[in-house]
């Protein structure tokens, strides 16, 4: 039961961080165009995106982290001392692979998340996956194998 709760909280943490970074990077593009963006605009856009992306991006992150953590679990059987780093790298890689798969499935280099067209945007999403891995491993008791 603790493992399931840890996973759900890890997915939620990754989702919230990914969406917040997505929103702020998009707003940075708006600022570059010379348009003003207030703090209220930033909060409003973030709340809008958190709700608006819930039905599509949350399940994508959930599936990515589920597969990534399953693979990580198998790898950590040989190197259990790398538990924290392993799950962080697993979450990072899981989001990266999902982005690559979505680009290839959609074809023509189309990125479903506009921010992933740039290195900074792609890294922001992958870092959110790594944070999800950190949350997951921190919520499990140390004596329980991850």
Output the average pLDDT for the chain. 91
* pLDDT digits 0-9 by tens, 76-128: 999 999 999 999 999 999 999 999 888 888 776 777 777 888 899 999 999 99
Name the pLDDT band for 32 (thresholds 50, 70, 90): confident
Q: Are 58 and 14 in contact (CB under 8 A)?
A: no
* Distance separating alpha carbons of residues 119 and 92, to the nearest angstrom: 14
């Amino acid at each position: 039961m603790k493992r399931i709760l840890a996973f759900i909280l890890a997915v939620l943490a990754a989702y919230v961080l990914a969406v917040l970074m997505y929103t702020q990077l998009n707003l940075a593009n708006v600022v570059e165009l010379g348009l003003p963006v207030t703090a209220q605009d930033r909060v409003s856009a973030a709340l809008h995106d958190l709700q608006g992306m819930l039905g599509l991006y949350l399940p994508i992150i959930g599936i990515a982290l589920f597969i990534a953590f399953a693979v990580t679990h198998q790898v950590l059987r040989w190197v259990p001392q790398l538990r924290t780093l392993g799950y962080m790298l697993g979450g990072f890689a899981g989001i990266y692979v999902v982005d690559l798969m979505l680009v290839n499935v959609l074809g023509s280099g189309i990125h479903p998340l506009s921010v992933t067209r740039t290195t900074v945007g792609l890294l922001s999403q992958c870092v959110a996956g790594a944070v999800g891995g950190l949350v997951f491993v921190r919520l499990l008791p140390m004596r329980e194998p991850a």
